[in-house]
Amino acid sequence: MIKKAYLLITLVLLQFSCKENDSTGIYVQNSTELHTAIANAIPGDVIIMANGEWTDVEIKFVGYGNDQQPITLKAETPGEVILTGNSNLRLGGEHLVVDGLFFTKGYSTTSSVITFAINQDTVANHSRISHCAIVDFNKPQRNQTDLWVLFNGRYNELDHCYIAGKSNRGPTVRVDLAGNQSIKNHHKITNNYFGPRPPKGGPSAETIQLGNSFTSMVPSYTLVANNFFDHCNGEVEVISSKSNFNEFRSNVFYKSEGSLVTRHGNYCIIDGNYFIGDVNSEQIGGVRLIGTGHWVTNNYFYNLKGKTFRSPLAVMNGIPKSPLNRYLQVTDVVVAYNTWVNCISPWQFGVGSNIDQKDILPASEIRSERPIRTIVANNLVYNTQGDEQPIIAHDALDGINFKSNLINNQGNSFNHEKAFRQENFALTQQEDYLFVPNSSLPNITPFNGFEFELIAYDLFGNSRASANQIGAIANTENTNPNIMDRSNYGPGWFDLVKINDSSSNVFNVETTVELETALLKAKNGDTIVLTAERYELNSSLKIDKKIWIKGALDRDKKISMHYKGAPNTPLFQMNPKGQLTLSNVLLEGNQKGFAFASLTDHMSSLYNLTVTDCEIINFAYVLKAYKNSFSEFISFRSTLIKNCANGLELSAETDDRGDYNAENIHIENCRFENVSKNVVDYYRGGYDESTVGGNLKIANSTFENCGGNEENGILLNTYGIINVNLTGNTFTNNKVKLVARLWGAKNNLFSNNHIENSGEMVVEQNLPLTLMY
Amino acid sequence: MIKKAYLLITLVLLQFSCKENDSTGIYVQNSTELHTAIANAIPGDVIIMANGEWTDVEIKFVGYGNDQQPITLKAETPGEVILTGNSNLRLGGEHLVVDGLFFTKGYSTTSSVITFAINQDTVANHSRISHCAIVDFNKPQRNQTDLWVLFNGRYNELDHCYIAGKSNRGPTVRVDLAGNQSIKNHHKITNNYFGPRPPKGGPSAETIQLGNSFTSMVPSYTLVANNFFDHCNGEVEVISSKSNFNEFRSNVFYKSEGSLVTRHGNYCIIDGNYFIGDVNSEQIGGVRLIGTGHWVTNNYFYNLKGKTFRSPLAVMNGIPKSPLNRYLQVTDVVVAYNTWVNCISPWQFGVGSNIDQKDILPASEIRSERPIRTIVANNLVYNTQGDEQPIIAHDALDGINFKSNLINNQGNSFNHEKAFRQENFALTQQEDYLFVPNSSLPNITPFNGFEFELIAYDLFGNSRASANQIGAIANTENTNPNIMDRSNYGPGWFDLVKINDSSSNVFNVETTVELETALLKAKNGDTIVLTAERYELNSSLKIDKKIWIKGALDRDKKISMHYKGAPNTPLFQMNPKGQLTLSNVLLEGNQKGFAFASLTDHMSSLYNLTVTDCEIINFAYVLKAYKNSFSEFISFRSTLIKNCANGLELSAETDDRGDYNAENIHIENCRFENVSKNVVDYYRGGYDESTVGGNLKIANSTFENCGGNEENGILLNTYGIINVNLTGNTFTNNKVKLVARLWGAKNNLFSNNHIENSGEMVVEQNLPLTLMY
């Protein structure tokens, strides 16, 4: 007995001696000290990483804390421990906490930056990443795949983090469900700020993905709550739920070009979320449903203009006996107590119906099974201006049970009107983007469906038991959700203003050397004004920031830039994050160089290009986009393009995996003269209906004597591009067979074009495409 | 206030006046009284149906009891309220109990006999069918589909019932999962006796089916426990689990020709069940696994001889990205702490692999995905005689993690031996069919896999925490499971002996009239001895019971029966439940009649036929099976068949839905002479790998001068039949192109046949077949 007591005392002493720095933690200053501290950590330990830059640090955080005494790894000062270069973090064990780290200026060489596993056998459980940030931590090229946070194990959390700027392939956050140790995981992704994710131009750019089709039968129980999604534009799915029993609650989707999609798996809850759109974007979606048993309740949709796949509520058609990775029929879904304000055609059912394509697609691709056993009840739709089609039925609606839905469509009638009761009432603005009912709301008894008593609270968390009404908001008392107060999200220490900081210096440059020097010195957002008449350049100008280069306006004729660099090099070399606005300049080449081009590789992020009031003459290419380069926005306005061998060449993504080189191309009031081929060559290959880009608009422009060397015989080649609009253009004496071949099954439009001696403009309903999956 | 009190008193009085017969219940004697009683029933009421036969009664039992006070509908004496004719029972509401009813001598005209729903909107919840029986309540023809018990709603029970004899199409018991009111149902199917269900000859004859592929994503949570399955031979699946989170515990599968199959859905538990086989049957299976996350623990497998799909443990291959109704890959499965005693090739992995058929089947039919992330641990295999292949790997085993498995294979080596540790030990017989470990069992530390601590108890319910060991049985103390004590199952009042009662009278008949009279009078199991030399018959003998007709043996020459009935009618008309054994008789026709035939329709149940030491001469058909007829066993032994236009014609199931006309055909030591065509014509159409019949054995027989009029050129036509064995036969001077065309991909065998001037015997690896689904 004495022996035992002695042993106990020794153990207690040992414990004390290990925790040498108990009150403040174990302070570590380099990787060796860090890993020693981790190796020796016992429950309750706090390891503190010294402030400063930690480069190429791969942290393997293995430890076994307990419920009362986790093992913590934290920054000396939150946000001031900066992991750069090839750094990453893996966790394995139980009850681990990581707090305050900042990953930026680098990328992980592994497949994920933060991983809740060391390897297949050692996962982390009950562990937490908190108050951290990952910003612009991109692999060098967008086709190189990784994840930024990979969940394995069970009961892990990602909370109060700021994560933004992922531009390479791969979801930002992913939950892995393979293996019994990762099922029924009850992970929590809460109170994070998901900052802007630019469009990737093709699939695999979700902000959150929960599982994949192969594990779509897994009970996951992941909670995604109280997050802010700010311009998460990576692809058509902001969140892709691919497992069962996940819950999405009280998130704000702010101007994010995509939807919350129950892509695979069943029985998810989407409750109390805000979907905020923008009148200027047709890309911002709401909720898209596939599968069985989802409940969509208490959500608020505002100003959404997305169509079909991106519509505010898209209830899809399924494939009969669908393969595991395609589209299960929608059954047993409940859409109740939601509110749509100023959305265009908010309710779309049978989305993706493609019965008319049964002759050109395999049977396993035909979405002919419309939603069944689906209840749509107690919802509210309000339109300031009458909507012509509040409901679009892409297939029959006989499987939808509409009950006690209310609309104010300003009295305008519409199809399927019996799905609603139309009344005249008003809403009151509560705060930015948020309109709530007032006493003018008609008193309608809500439909009491099976288990509707489980919808116990409204959007604001007020009980529906005492005071209930149609729509997301039952009660407007105590209602200051402050959805746009960004301090509710993310780590707190992260300065959102700083991130968006743009100084605005102006450099006036008189010579080529001054121009080159100014470009090096300029900060993001600066302006360079060309004040001389002529600049001769023998090498490319590297555009790797936001910069505006413009010719001074007070000259008689346009200021000119003459490019004499090596053949096949560009005057303006578009680098990752390069955003060039060029105006009032004449660019002249020697028929060998290019006016604009991306890097040939290492395009780790996108570039943008706006050209206004310019002239572009004598180049081999106006714009050359290399493989893996991507631009979100390319705009040519009021510009003359003349005597060039090639025009805008954006067709380097030839793998037919759904990728493409630019999201939006706008050409307006331009004039193309004697551009021999590839006047516009814009390509997307691979059949994948859920990807909805790219977008091309050519308006009020003139094409004359172009396409003389065009091998494919098409002047404006847009093969595979989903949204094309050619309007008000004039085509004269272009030696081509076709001006354009449009894709009738997609959103390819043309109007008011004048064509003379230039071949035809044809529409093909269905284009043969490679199946992607 | 006074008014309110008055109302309350009135209500209480009313309540009393309704419950006129509270202590004994509300006694009802006819349908009108019954429905009045139901209409007025309040919580706590007991409605008592008078003993006797209730014919054509359709009971709609709607009521709302509560947890403490259910509404009960019960038999005056359990088992003596007999519902006959077109009777059925539907329940709707809450907390209803039905007790002691007996459905027999009839069938329901509806789609189910007992239904836990009135219609789509009104289901039953918390309701219970108890101590009831359904016996031989078959629709008139086997292709007419129904169910005997259909579950809807939630929290319903079927317990202590006896259910036997279903022979028409459709599962005996089915759980319906369409609609949110029927998900997460927690139904219980417990302590029932599932009596014999004869083979149907084709699909859709499960004893229990939980959901279907369309609802296979539903969380079901149905419990099937403590039931006895006695010769449930309907089809290859005794239980077909097609939903998620179902549990199968402590059931006894006794000589049931099929398996417990996780056909669709995932995460089922199969724990503590007994699978008892028979050395004489290769049809009795164990557990067949498809899908993800199932746990197979503490089960006991004895004397099972089933192969591939029916093997004691069949872990299947899946189809890549399988369609909803086909085969999902096996992943994340655990098979632990089970015992196999004297089973042949008990472990089979990659079952259903058909990569070699990729040229003839569509890609969506190729099961090429082998099991992955699967743990097989702590299992025990014991063989009294060494097994050549305890493991059969139909595909690679690299996805299976074998840990701490123990085998006594009597020292015989085998493939994949490293999956086991082989030791010499013995088992002790505890009771019939049950062998348990003794002190000779080597002490091996069980593998401790992820969540193996959840396998807390063994087969007998003893804790594994204190004393643990390999195999289903951790501890042999307190171990008298008495698995064969049938009083543990079913309603108690049901006399299993009476059901199997067979008297055994013998009738000696001297004349045709005596024969016909005796046949009418005879009871099931009786014998008729023909004592005269010759019987002339002008009409058919109706065989609708178990009967043995034999010629007296003490005569010089065979006693003969001459049939002169109408053309195309049979001497022996095989009716439902007819079981004829015929021996030592010469049958002679006039070339117009048939020797044996089924009814042309209304074959509500199967027939069997055994012919020994007979001669069959001058018939248009020896045996003619009509559409929808089915025989489990047809046997011809030591019989001469001569001068007949047609032989055994069993090819009426031409819908190609997987059905066929007979399960087993055995022909041994027979002689066929001058049978012009259809000598044996046995057909099954429709590709469905999971159906594993029929079975044809022709041994030591002679075929001479047959097939002269055979249009298809094949003497023995067995198209689509899975198991064929032609051995030791002699074929001489048969004018056919082929003696037989065997199906190489299936179990079609031939050996030691002598063929002379009779065409060839060929094997085709793959037969073109219609896909069934």
Q: How many angstroms separate the CA atoms of B295 and B311, rounded?
A: 18
Contact A334, A280 (CB under 8 A): no
Contact B100, B75 (CB under 8 A): yes
Mean pLDDT of A692-720: 92
For residue B712, what are its two tokens? 């298809």
When CB atoms are compared, the residue of A180, A364, A373 closest to B332 is: A180
> Which chain B residue's Cα is nearest to A243?
B217
Contact between chains at A219 and B364 (C-beta distance less than 8 A)? no
3-class SS string, B322-343: CECCCCCCCECCEEECCEEECC
Q: Using one digit for the tens of pLDDT, what is the confidence trace for A415-468?
A: 999 999 999 999 999 999 999 999 999 999 999 999 999 999 999 999 999 889
Q: What is the pLDDT of residue B691?
A: 65
Q: Using one digit for the tens of pLDDT, what is the confidence trace for A170-193?
A: 999 999 999 999 999 999 999 999
The pair phi, psi for residue B363, each rounded to 5°, is: -55, -30
Share of chain B above pLDDT 70, in %: 94
Quick check: A501 pLDDT over 70?
Answer: no
Q: How far is A369 from chain B (nearest CA, A)?
A: 12
* 3-state helix vs strand vs coil in chain B, percent to 5: 10, 40, 50
Contact A639, A613 (CB under 8 A): yes
Rounded to 10 degrees, what is the CA torsion of B576, B580, B585, B588?
10
The number of C-alpha atoms within 13 Å of B190 and in the hemisphere containing its C-beta is 13
Q: What is the pLDDT of residue A20?
A: 42
The number of C-alpha atoms within 13 Å of B751 and in the hemisphere containing its C-beta is 4
Q: Strand runs (DSSP E) across A517-639, as ranges?
A: 526-530, 534-537, 541-543, 546-551, 559-563, 570-574, 579-583, 585-588, 594-598, 607-612, 615-617, 621-624, 631-637
- State whether residue A244 sits within 8 Å of chain B by CB: yes
Q: How many angstroms separate the CA atoms of A113 and A96, rounded?
A: 17
Cα end-to-end span (Å), chain B = 68
Contact between chains at A373 and B219 (C-beta distance less than 8 A)? no
Contact between chains at A293 and B218 (C-beta distance less than 8 A)? yes
> Which chain A residue's Cα is nearest to B325?
A321
- Is residue B540 packed enough to be buried (19+ CB in 10 Å), middle (13-18) or exposed (0-12)? buried
For residue B146, what are its two tokens? 């129904």
Q: How many angstroms separate the CA atoms of A337 and A297, rounded?
A: 5
Q: What is the pLDDT of residue B21?
A: 42
- State whether residue A469 sits within 8 Å of chain B by CB: no
Q: What is the pLDDT of residue B364?
A: 83
Contact between chains at A213 and B244 (C-beta distance less than 8 A)? no
> Which chain B residue's Cα is nearest to A450?
B181
Quick check: A12 pLDDT over 50?
Answer: no
Contact B163, B133 (CB under 8 A): yes
**Which residues in B lie closer than 8 A to residue A185 (C-beta atoms)?**
none
- State whether residue A69 sits within 8 Å of chain B by CB: no
Close Cβ partners of B72 (under 8 Å, ≥ 6 residues apart): B25, B45, B46, B47, B96, B97, B98, B99
**Which residues in B lie closer than 8 A to residue A325 (C-beta atoms)?**
321
Q: How many angstroms separate the CA atoms of B625 and B606, rounded?
A: 11
Name the helix (H) or strand (E) containing B400. strand B400-403
- State whether residue A178 sits within 8 Å of chain B by CB: yes
Q: How many whole angstroms from its chain centre is CA A639? A: 31
Contact A720, A769 (CB under 8 A): yes
Contact A285, A312 (CB under 8 A): yes
> Which chain A residue's Cα is nearest to B215?
A292
- The confidence band for A498, taking pLDDT boundaries of 50, 70 and 90, is low
Mean pLDDT of A486-504: 73
**Amino acid, res. A248:** F
Mean pLDDT of A618-628: 96
Contact between chains at A218 and B292 (C-beta distance less than 8 A)? yes
> Which chain A residue's Cα is nearest to B266?
A217
* Mean pLDDT taken over chain A: 92
| Of A53, A76, A79, nearest in space to A494 by CA | A79
- State whether residue B120 sits within 8 Å of chain A by CB: no
Q: How far is A183 from chain B (nearest CA, A)?
A: 9
Quick check: A497 pLDDT over 70?
Answer: no
Q: How many angstroms separate the CA atoms of A73 and A646, rounded?
A: 56
Contact between chains at B217 and A293 (C-beta distance less than 8 A)? yes
Cα end-to-end span (Å), chain A = 69
**Which residues in B lie closer than 8 A to residue A323 (C-beta atoms)?**
321-324, 364
Buried b / exposed e along A23-60 (16+ C-beta atoms within 10 A): eebbebeebeebbebbeebebbbbbbbbeeebeebebb
Q: What is the pLDDT of residue A365?
A: 87
Q: What is the pLDDT of residue B20?
A: 42
The number of C-alpha atoms within 13 Å of A622 and in the hemisphere containing its C-beta is 32
- State whether residue B266 sits within 8 Å of chain A by CB: yes
Q: What is the pLDDT of residue B264?
A: 97
What one-character DSSP code corresponds to residue B6?
Answer: H
For residue A664, what are its two tokens? 């939006």
For residue B9, what are its two tokens? 């008193």
Q: How many angstroms separate the CA atoms of A686 and A663, rounded?
A: 16
- State whether residue A293 sits within 8 Å of chain B by CB: yes
The pair phi, psi for residue B104, each rounded to 5°, is: -160, 175
Contact between chains at A332 and B451 (C-beta distance less than 8 A)? no
Q: Where are the alpha helices (DSSP H) in A418-492?
A: none
- State whether residue B454 sits within 8 Å of chain A by CB: no
Quick check: A738 pLDDT over 80?
Answer: yes
Q: How far is A214 from chain B (nearest CA, A)?
A: 7
pTM score:
0.87
Q: What is the pLDDT of residue B769?
A: 67
What one-character DSSP code corresponds to residue B546?
Answer: E
Q: What is the pLDDT of residue B292?
A: 98
Q: What is the pLDDT of residue A542?
A: 97
The SS3 assignment for B362 reads coil
Quick check: A406 pLDDT over 60?
Answer: yes
Q: How many angstroms separate the CA atoms of B35 and B19, rounded?
A: 15
| Of B557, B558, B510, nearest in space to B535 by CA | B510
Q: What is the pLDDT of residue B35?
A: 96
Q: How many angstroms separate the CA atoms of B581 and B563, rounded?
A: 18
| Of A723, A656, A684, nearest in space to A309 by CA | A723
Mean pLDDT of A632-641: 94
Q: How many angstroms separate the CA atoms of B127 and B114, rounded?
A: 12
Q: What is the pLDDT of residue A596?
A: 98
- The confidence band for A158, taking pLDDT boundaries of 50, 70 and 90, is very high
Q: How many angstroms separate the CA atoms of B588 and B563, rounded?
A: 6
- The confidence band for A13, taking pLDDT boundaries of 50, 70 and 90, is very low
The pair phi, psi for residue B4, each rounded to 5°, is: -65, -45
- State whether residue A366 sits within 8 Å of chain B by CB: no
Mean pLDDT of A288-317: 97
In Å, what is the CA distance from A681 to each residue of A621, A649, A711?
A: 12, 5, 12
For residue A83, what are its two tokens? 């992991």
- State whether residue B321 sits within 8 Å of chain A by CB: yes
What one-character DSSP code corresponds to residue A168?
Answer: S
When CB atoms are compared, the residue of A179, A265, A332 closest to B373 is: A179
Q: Using one digit for the tens of pLDDT, what is the confidence trace for A61-72?
A: 999 999 999 999
Low-confidence ranges of chain B (pLDDT < 70): 1-23, 478, 496-503, 687-691, 769-773
Residue B294 backbone zone (phi > 0: left; psi -120 to 50: alpha; other: beta): beta
